[in-house]
Structure 1
């Protein structure tokens, strides 16, 4: 397939990320199809037309079904609010389109299962979910070190993901705080990323016990003096047991003052440990328990062309990749899947396994006990 037509639903933060990736992917990965940006969709025609011109899309529409009826479009990006993911994704698969959908996958586990079933019934279409942090060359090198036994037996995982976009208790109420429209809170928005990294490095999570809480229980309604109830979680913490027998700890918060992209992971092993902080995503920190004790210490490994995919974007070590560059790598992996090649995309089937974990958090917190994932 030398060319592929794409349609993009949504013009917000992640919509722009997808648009930028579509514009860059062929220049970065020469072995992918040429992207034809066919149509952009959002609810306001004037705004969508303006963004279409800026982002290089040929047409603008306010009806996402136009994208599904368009024979020029083979791949649909879904960056709409969470509550629309299931309907759009299932309809796109039924229409024979490949689908790139942002996380969280869906509002409920039942919705995620329906999306996975639709993908399984599809006629060879590729699916991918927006887990770009997995494509970080530093993270992938950490995985390689663990697999090679550099830190010995990996027996303990510690991870946190904290941001402060809801930290202000007087921040206005929005749809993101309503269960029917957003689903879970920090679990769906942030914790899913931490789970994706944990399972990439340590394998499947088998069981957990969790605490899930709302911190700011009400927020002001825009344009008035009323306050509305917050219906989903601000913080979520858990103790974990991996299928391998390793144990772990996860903490997450959307009300953590000062944290912007506080996605951190540590893996402790019998011969050393490693850690990565995504606010410094081009640095992997490695400690090896070898040599004279007085010479031991953490080594800081800067991402460089000899780390997978970094060299595609930058020929110079230590110059650094960012969030949007990881999105380009994520898209390239999807395009490999579209063209029938091996792909590291998080498919709907794999994404369902992440959804099972966040819903196990919620189930454990409600029951006050350990639960099996699944």
Structure 2
């Protein structure tokens, strides 16, 4: 395969990330087919035409179904709001396309189950946009855990905090609408759940408390509207490997911009990481002279693949969009039948089940199995 035809639905924040990845994956990695940017869809025809010119797509449309029906499109990137994922992914799979869909998978568990079944029946690659698992340091942390560097893991703590919902007078948006899902658990918490999935095999059971820091938000035309989604969550967890855990989520955390932090405690040491400092992690091992024990900082570099594909020197650092580009390469590996580090629809369904167990636990004030 010399090239692969790409369609893109949605050109906002994540749509641009996908476009950058499709444009950059061949120059960075060198192998695999060269993406051909065929067809782009936006809600407005003029906007679609502008974005197609900016991103390098050959055609533009205001009807996303045109992208799905295009015979020259072989893989479809879906980067629209959460509530639209299921319909678009199901249509793309029915048309025989591979799918790269942003998280969360769907708003309802029933839709997520339909998506997983459709991907299985279609025999096409269907990947979800969990780019944090692609960080070279997350890969290296996984290798350290597998090697027993910190012994047997017995407890983990995960936090995800941002402040895009921190202002109580910020206008009501789709993220506060029930049609978008639950809020912190699915729009947000799926990211730490993706890390738990690849590092520990997932969550076995949960006990959760969800909250709405602000009861309502102002409307652009005047008045206020009740907030239907949760902006914070506290979750007790039991992982599938038997370890205990805590997950704290907050979309209204002033001062936090992209904090996805965790601590992993083992019988022989600790690993600590924070996405706001995504090119380093801290490692403590309970060995050697106690008078000289302490956390040491490990900086990312060419010894942490695939960092070396971007930069030949250590300590220079990768960025968020680079993780999306790595994810794009893993998607192409899967399409080619090679080993690939992706969370496909089948694995993503496990994350969705954890989300819905969290919400049910909150509503019924009880532990729930995932």
TM-score, length of structure 1 as denominator length: 0.98
Per the alignment, residue 187 of structure 1 pairs with 185
**For the residues of structure 1 that align with 2:246 and 2:208, how far apart are their CA atoms?**
10
246, 249, 255: which one pairs with 2:246?
Answer: 249
**For the residues of structure 2 that align with 1:60 and 1:110, how far apart are their CA atoms?**
32
- Superposed displacement of residue 102, structure 1: 0.2
Per the alignment, residue 15 of structure 1 pairs with 15
- Superposed displacement of residue 200, structure 1: 1.8
**For the residues of structure 2 that align with 1:298 and 1:219, how far apart are their CA atoms?**
43
RMSD: 0.8
Q: Does 1:276 find its partner at 2:273?
A: yes
* Equivalent residues in 2 for 1:30-109, closer than 5 Å: 30-109=30-109
- Superposed displacement of residue 341, structure 1: 1.1
**For the residues of structure 2 that align with 1:128 and 1:348, how far apart are their CA atoms?**
6
349, 357, 360: which one pairs with 1:360?
Answer: 357
**For the residues of structure 1 that align with 2:136 and 2:21, how far apart are their CA atoms?**
17
8 Å Cα contact 2:181/2:187 also seen in 1? no
**For the residues of structure 2 that align with 1:99 and 1:166, how far apart are their CA atoms?**
30
Question: Could you list the runs of 4 or more consecutive aligned residues of structure 1 that deviate by over 3 angstroms after TM superposition?
Answer: none
C-alpha distance after superposition, 1:276-335 (max 9, x if no partner): 100000001100111111111111000011112111111110100000000000000000
Per the alignment, residue 259 of structure 1 pairs with 256
- Superposed displacement of residue 177, structure 1: 1.0
278, 289, 292: which one pairs with 2:289?
Answer: 292
8 Å Cα contact 1:178/1:232 also seen in 2? yes
Q: Does 1:114 find its partner at 2:111?
A: no
- Superposed displacement of residue 51, structure 1: 1.0
Paired residue secondary structure (2:281): strand
8 Å Cα contact 1:139/1:284 also seen in 2? no
Paired residue secondary structure (1:245): coil
Paired residue secondary structure (2:189): helix
- Superposed displacement of residue 340, structure 1: 1.2
TM-score, length of structure 2 as denominator length: 0.99
Paired residue secondary structure (1:256): coil
- Superposed displacement of residue 2, structure 1: 1.4
Paired residue secondary structure (1:359): helix
**For the residues of structure 2 that align with 1:308 and 1:218, how far apart are their CA atoms?**
46
**For the residues of structure 2 that align with 1:256 and 1:204, how far apart are their CA atoms?**
26
The gaps in structure 2 that reach 5 residues or longer are none
- Superposed displacement of residue 204, structure 1: 2.1
Q: Does 1:205 find its partner at 2:220?
A: no
The gaps in structure 1 that reach 5 residues or longer are none
8 Å Cα contact 1:134/1:196 also seen in 2? yes
Paired residue secondary structure (1:23): helix
- Superposed displacement of residue 187, structure 1: 1.2
**For the residues of structure 2 that align with 1:320 and 1:176, how far apart are their CA atoms?**
31
**For the residues of structure 2 that align with 1:70 and 1:103, how far apart are their CA atoms?**
24
Per the alignment, residue 125 of structure 1 pairs with 124
8 Å Cα contact 2:150/2:268 also seen in 1? yes
**For the residues of structure 2 that align with 1:203 and 1:70, how far apart are their CA atoms?**
38
8 Å Cα contact 2:100/2:126 also seen in 1? yes
Number of residue pairs the alignment of both structures matches: 370
Paired residue secondary structure (1:345): coil
Q: Does 1:327 find its partner at 2:324?
A: yes
**For the residues of structure 1 that align with 2:66 and 2:197, how far apart are their CA atoms?**
37
